Amino acid sequence: MNGKGYTNVPLKEGWSMYKEKETTTVGSVRAGAKVGTEQVKPKEGSRGVKAFTLPISVPPSKGVLLVNDKMCGGCSSCVFACTLYNDGVAAPSISRIQVDNIRFEEWDATAKPCLQCVEPLCMRYCPTNSIKVDGKTGARIIDEKACIGCQECIKHCPYDPPRIRYDEVKKKAVKCNLCDGDPQCVKSCPFGALTYYTDPDGVKTGYMGEGTQL
């Protein structure tokens, strides 16, 4: 991982990405499971996630937010940077980077950014095709005009908490757009635990990009 951060983010309970063995009950990927470049899609009808094909093939994102979980203390500075910059208000519930910093007794309280999935399920399940790939950053972004606020994308985000949030005021879904290549969360991290990792050839992270070495 070269100290850059982790990409092995566990999926929601009951979701799977790779079929490790034919007989394995589908669950979240075992931590540290060796996953090759060859990605095996779940069989149709397997529990957890439906087999699917994207309507269009999308290029991988050119950038992604990485979290060094040894250094992230869960201070939520990124959360506030996100909504102050993007929404002009302080509203953690619609932050595109989530931190659960209420339950101090839980170990895992690091920042949880959108991973700009290789195969973005949000895009797949959007009935109005309003999630698109940004030409500049490769981020999967929401076209606000086209979004009808049905929240299908949120339901199908394979991560917990969902990285797409629902804005009750606008009645639209909101999603990380990497701040057009200048992520405010990274700039506001007081500890340097967040990195904006870019690669012009594309970074393979998130769903179907799990385990990629950066």
Partner 1 sequence: MTELYGYVGKILRVNLTTRVISEFSSEKYSPYLGSKGMATRIYWEEIGPEVKPFDPENKLIFAAGPATGTGAVGSTKGSLTGKSPVWNPVSSIAHSTTAIFAPALKRAGYDALIVEGKADLPVYLWIANGKAEIRDAQDLWGKTTRNTRALLWQKHNKQTVVACIGPAGENLLLSACVSVACNTPFGRGGFGAVMGSKNLKAIAVYGTGRIKVAQPLKLLEVNRDRAKFESIKVGEKRIVGGKEVIGKEWDETVACDFGTVGTADTQLRDLAKLGRVRIKPNACEACFAFCRTRYSFVDGSLPNSSVKCTSNIGWAMAEAIADNWEKKVLGPASYEFAQTLDDAGLNMNDFCLLSPLFGQLTPFDENENVEYTLLGGDWLYQGYVSGIFNEENTGLPWNKFGTKEFNDKFLQMVIYREGFGDILAKGFRYATKYIVEHQEFGPNRDRMLYIYKRINSKAGNMGCLDNGHGQYAPNSGRSIFTAVGDRTGSEPEYMWSHHMTSFLNETPAAVREKWLGPGTNKILDLYYWGPEVAHAVIKHEQYSAVLDSLHLCEIGTMTLGSQGLGHYANRPVDRNRDLIDWLDHSPHGGSELLSAIFGREVTNEELDEIGARIVNLIRAIWVRDGYTTVDDPFWGKAVDTLWDMHFQRKNTEGKNLTLKSGFDATIQDYYKERGWVKGVPTRATLERLGLKDVADDLAKRNLLPNESWR
> Residue 195's CB: how many other CB atoms inside 10 A?
18
Distance (Å, whole) CA 213 – CA 1: 6
Work out whether 32 is an interface residue with partner 1 (CB under 8 A): no
CA distances from 27 to 14, 24, 31, 117, 146 (A): 5, 8, 11, 19, 34
Work out whether 94 is an interface residue with partner 1 (CB under 8 A): yes
Specify the 3-state DSSP secondary structure of 155.
Answer: helix
Work out whether 3 is an interface residue with partner 1 (CB under 8 A): yes
Work out whether 70 is an interface residue with partner 1 (CB under 8 A): yes
Work out whether 179 is an interface residue with partner 1 (CB under 8 A): no
Residue 121 phi, psi (nearest 5): -65, -30
* Least Cβ distance, residue 60 to partner 1 (angstroms): 28
From residue 102 to residue 131, the character string flagging contacts with partner 1 as x (rule: CB under 8 A) and all else as - is xxxxxx-x----------------------
Distance (Å, whole) CA 119 – CA 90: 31
* Interface positions, 39-68, toward partner 1 (CB under 8 A): 68
Residues forming the site for partner 1 (CB under 8 A)? 3, 68-71, 73-77, 79-81, 83-85, 87-94, 100-107, 109, 168-169, 184, 187-188, 190-192
